[in-house]
Amino acid sequence: MATPRAGLRFFAQARQTFARTFKRHQTTAGVNAAAIDGAAAPKPSFWNSEIGPKTVHFWAPVMKWGVVAAGASDFLRPAEKLSLTQNMALLATGSIWTRWCFVIRPKNMLLAGVNFCLFLVGLVQTSRIFLYRKEVEGSTGAAFSSMWATIKGDGKKVEAKAKEEAKEVESKVGA
């Protein structure tokens, strides 16, 4: 009769030992022990920070450097072969998102840096296009007119293509 009792005690003790060994660390709603004791809380390491490598706030800017590198690789191309709309998009994207990086929480300086570089790439390339057009057209006003015509023409092409795609989708849905 004593054997079942001994076996139950063994499993109860084993369960308690297992639970103590593999118990997860529990904290009080993000407050660490130093803060509870009244001492200054240590800063988290970069690895565990809000913008560390465990978060999207780190990897998105790292991947965006590829866009900056692609834009910068066009520095070697002649200005007549550069796309005005593409480089205006880089310029606008870089300026808008650089500002936004200072508004969002957590402030992400890595993202702000990559967006500022994207803005600079777009600015340099757009300036190269403008200077090329100024040289070809002969005046600043003619260069701006030529650039504006390019932007409007590209916009009309996109609009026409979107209307064509919409009609195609409507015909498939309606059929």
The pLDDT, as a whole number, for residue 41 is 60
Average pLDDT over residues 139-159: 83
| CB within 8 Å of 85: residues ≥ 6 apart | 150, 151, 154
Residue 11 has pLDDT above 90, yes or no: no
Q: How confident is the model at residue 175 (pLDDT cuts 50, 70, 90)?
A: low
More confident residue, 104 or 4: 104
Query: Residue 82: phi, psi to the nearest 5?
Result: -85, 150
The pLDDT, as a whole number, for residue 37 is 52
